[in-house]
Structures are given as structure tokens and as C-alpha cells.
């Protein structure tokens, strides 16, 4: 038996409420595209979002290979849930909004790492430009 719950992007007037359905394990995820959330525990609470993601094909096939999956396991993954992508919405924007609204730690770590890599790339480009200018 699956449970249903609603998560919200909590963004004021543009708030989106999305209905998720829980699944017993990763192989029970649907064989279709959609949003997914990997659930864990935090401070005694169960089924707390650890990671939000989007699958553009089969969730059952893609989720185990998603970079957030291994991180969620390390953070105490205990459950899975999926949702249909609401029509007309950008999946990446929904994932970001949900991750921020529920303070999903795996998404936050991935975002921080991306910012660090972007800053390093900018610094490396500036250093390369200075070397070229000095020649």
C-alpha cells in the first residue's frame, strides 16, 4: 500500500503543491518520467526529504544512477516517493524550489559544490588571462 503526501514549493504567490506517492523501494519507482524525492530521517523525524530530483525517462532506471542517490544513502536513505511533473513547469526550477523549501541536504551540498567549481573556474580563467596579458 502506498501513501500519498503533498509538498509545496513555499514560494508565496507562485506556490506549487505537488502530490507525491511513496514506494517501498527503488525498484518500485514508476517506469515513467517525473519528480522524485529520496527520504530519510533528521532529528527524530522520519520521511524528511534528503534529495529532490527529476527523471526524464524511467525513474526506476535513472534514480539508482543519479549522483544524489549515493549521497542520500550516506545520509540515511529510508524511502522513495514520486510525482508527476505538473504541466508547463520547468523540472529543474521545481527541484530547486522544493529542495530550498525543505532544506534538502543533498541538494544543498550539490549546489554549494557547483558554486565552488564555478568560482574556481572564474579564478582560473582570470589567471590565464593575466598570464596571456603578461606575455
Residue 35, CA distances (Å) to 58, 92, 126, 129 in order:
11, 10, 38, 42
pLDDT category, 20, cuts 50, 70, 90? very high
Q: Measure the CA–CA gap between 40 and 42, rounded to whole angstroms.
A: 7
pLDDT tens-digit readout, 35-56? 999 999 888 888 899 999 999 9
Q: Which CATH number fits domain 4-134: 3.90.550.10, 1.25.40.320, 3.40.50.2300, 3.40.1440.10?
A: 3.40.1440.10
Q: What is the pTM of this model?
A: 0.80
The distance of Cα 12 from the centroid of its chain, to the nearest Å, equals 21
Domain ranges of the chain: 4-134
Amino acid at each position: 500500500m502506498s501513501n500519498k503526501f503533498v509538498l509545496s514549493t513555499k514560494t508565496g504567490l507562485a506556490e506549487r503543491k505537488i502530490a507525491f506517492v511513496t514506494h517501498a523501494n527503488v525498484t518500485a519507482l514508476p517506469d515513467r518520467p517525473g519528480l522524485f524525492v529520496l527520504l530519510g530521517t533528521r532529528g527524530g523525524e522520519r520521511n524528511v526529504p534528503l534529495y529532490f530530483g527529476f527523471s526524464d525517462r524511467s525513474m526506476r532506471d535513472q534514480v539508482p544512477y543519479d549522483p544524489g542517490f549515493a549521497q542520500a544513502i550516506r545520509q540515511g536513505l529510508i524511502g522513495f516517493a514520486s510525482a508527476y511533473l505538473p504541466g508547463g513547469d520547468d523540472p529543474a526550477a521545481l527541484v530547486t524550489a522544493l529542495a530550498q523549501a525543505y532544506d534538502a541536504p543533498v541538494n544543498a551540498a550539490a549546489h554549494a559544490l557547483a558554486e565552488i567549481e564555478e568560482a574556481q573556474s572564474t579564478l582560473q580563467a582570470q589567471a590565464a588571462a593575466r598570464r596571456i596579458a603578461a606575455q
